[in-house]
Chain A
Amino acid sequence: MSKTIAEINEKIKRGKAVVLTAVEVIDLAKEKGISKAAEEIDVVTTGTFSPMCSSGVFLNIGHSKPRIKLGGGEVYLNDVPVYTGLAAVDIFLGATAIPEDDPRNRFYPGEFNYGGGHVIEELVAGKDVKLVATAYGTDCYPRKKLETWINLKDINNAILFNVRNASQNYEVGVNLSDRMLYTYMGVLKPNLGNANYCTSGELSPLLNDPYYKTIGIGTRVFFGGGVGYVAWHGTQHNPDVSRTANGVPKEPAGALSLIGDLKQMKPEWLVGTSMLGYGCTLTVGIGVPIPILSEELLRYTMVSDAEIFAPIIDYSEAYPQGKPDILGEVSYAELKSGHIEVQGKDVPTSSLSSYPKAVEIANILKDWIKKGEFLLTEPVAPLPGAESGITLKPLKERPITE
């Protein structure tokens, strides 16, 4: 049995495509048998809704009269600093940027109530955002100051370009120390008081296509409530890791770099987020369709929480000091049961990734495909696999002695 993406797209256009979510496919394919199910099922949809820090938006705000060169100047959006090292009116707003007068962790733990992620959410929600800029002035761009409201609908471009999203598996954070820790994995209570995890498990995009056989550059996806595309492999993409027999990485591995037009996205799926004592970020909704071109691909999408394992890491010592020690591996079935065992202790679990929202995303994408509104794309180039030789390197520090 084999199908092509073009054949699946023909079925989608006729409204005849059989589409299931990555949760629904598990039982249904077992019930029908792999070979029959692979013939019948055309697409499996995945979903994830998690804080993703490497997110940000390129904005072109349009030229003022007289003109101003923001490039090389200073620009703030709702007091959040943006990057200006680009052409005259192109700026980049990153999800983790925070106002200069935010107290950070001076009052520990800092609250980080408002940052770049929140500005992105407000832009998408159609709210006016205050732009304050100073520039050095040139013959062709004489203006030195600009204060104005801007609105997403009025500016030329708003391109959400996230260089690392949708991580393929993630660590489970715990705290072996005797004090509370405030981390990007949430608040970790002392003496193994809790364990936090952060993927949607059996619904997570790259866990359903572990060897990147269908997801590649150019793959059309659900991105922030609209449509986006895989632009590249994500930063820190690390395909050569230990994997289970079904190919699923047992530690963080691949990642996606995604791009899309912010103007057609929705605030419900791009949520400004505050991690106590850590910083601001953006929670991003992503859903990737997986075409069932063969039995092998169907088998990958049948992966269940009991077959996905994550490493348990101590965030009081191993993580901050960059040590490779892990305290064990747990399955997502165990994590989702509400308790895991670490060093003989019963530890309650929480998730930072919203499972109900991941289900909702997979269902929205399923509806789009079933209605013929969303066609699949043939990747332009594959994502690098283990054979690429790409690895995750630590920083090689070289002292500067001058």
Chain B
Amino acid sequence: MDVSRRIVLHFPPRVTGQPVVYRLAKDFDLSFNIIKASVSPGEEGLLVMELSGDQENYDKGMQYLTETGVKIQSLSQDVVRDEAQCTHCGACITICPSGAFSLEPKTRKVLFDHSKCVVCGLCVKACPPRAMRLYF
């Protein structure tokens, strides 16, 4: 069975020099989408990513991370669009720093690519009909 989860990883300074994400992909066949990253050698690092793959491999990957000393949290915040409230004006498009909004070329409807969202929340208050919601 396949799973896909959005997680927050905290790296202690000694781990930031290791190719952890490469190992997740290579050894456990997990595909990753990095949402947010702040990793500097010698300092505590932070990585927010969506990780998907086979449930068994996912569990093994998590075990590997724990053994390496990485602290794992599930992503506790999420930005969701209230589809009924969205008027498709497009005010969000240039506000989003990660390009999560785009226009469907033919209809000019606003598409929201959840996987590109870095949960910064800028769109929430900039949306005129308040269709974007930040969940904790």
B is bound to A: yes
Chain A: interface size category = 20 to 34
Which residues of chain A have C-beta atoms less than 8 A from B93's C-beta?
Answer: 338, 348, 350
User: B120 at interface (Cβ–Cβ under 8 A)?
Assistant: no
Contact of B129 among A193, A195, A273, A348 (CB under 8 A): A273
Distance of A232 Cα from B109 Cα, bound (Å): 33
Known contacts A336-B108, A356-B107: A350-B91 contact under CB 8 Å: yes
Q: Which residues in A have their C-beta under 8 angstroms from that of B94? A: 189, 193-196, 348-350
Is A283 within 8 A of B87, CB to CB?
Answer: yes
A-facing residues in B36-56 (Cβ within 8 Å): none
Asked if A352 and B88 make an inter-chain contact with CB atoms under 8 angstroms apart, the answer reads: no
CA–CA, A239 and B127, complex, Å:
32
What secondary structure prevails in chain B residues at the interface with A? loop
| Interface contact B88-A357, CB-CB below 8 Å | yes
Question: Which residue, of A111, A196, A349, has the highest number of chain B Cβ atoms within 10 A?
Answer: A196
Residue A54 lies at the interface, judged by CB distance under 8 Å to chain B = no
Q: Are B87 and A357 in contact (CB under 8 A)?
A: yes
B11 nearest CB across to chain A (Å) = 32
Considering only residues 77-94 of chain B, those with a C-beta below 8 Å from chain A are 87-94
Give residues in A with beta carbon < 8 Å to B: 49-51, 109, 111, 113, 186-187, 189, 193-196, 271-276, 283, 336, 338, 348-357, 359
Closest 7 CB pairs of A and B: A194-B94, A354-B89, A355-B108, A350-B94, A351-B90, A356-B88, A273-B128
Can you report 27 residue pairs joining A to B where beta carbons are below 8 Å apart? A186-B91, A186-B126, A187-B91, A189-B94, A194-B95, A195-B94, A273-B129, A274-B128, A275-B128, A276-B125, A283-B87, A283-B89, A336-B108, A338-B93, A338-B103, A349-B94, A350-B95, A351-B89, A352-B90, A352-B91, A352-B128, A353-B89, A354-B87, A355-B88, A355-B108, A356-B108, A359-B107
Using a CB–CB cutoff of 8 Å, the interface residues on chain B facing chain A are 87-95, 103, 107-109, 125-126, 128-130
Taking A276-B125, A354-B88 as given, write out 10 further A-B residue pairs in contact, using a Cβ cutoff of 8 Å, ordered by the A residue number.
A186-B126, A189-B95, A195-B94, A352-B90, A352-B128, A353-B89, A355-B90, A356-B109, A357-B87, A357-B88
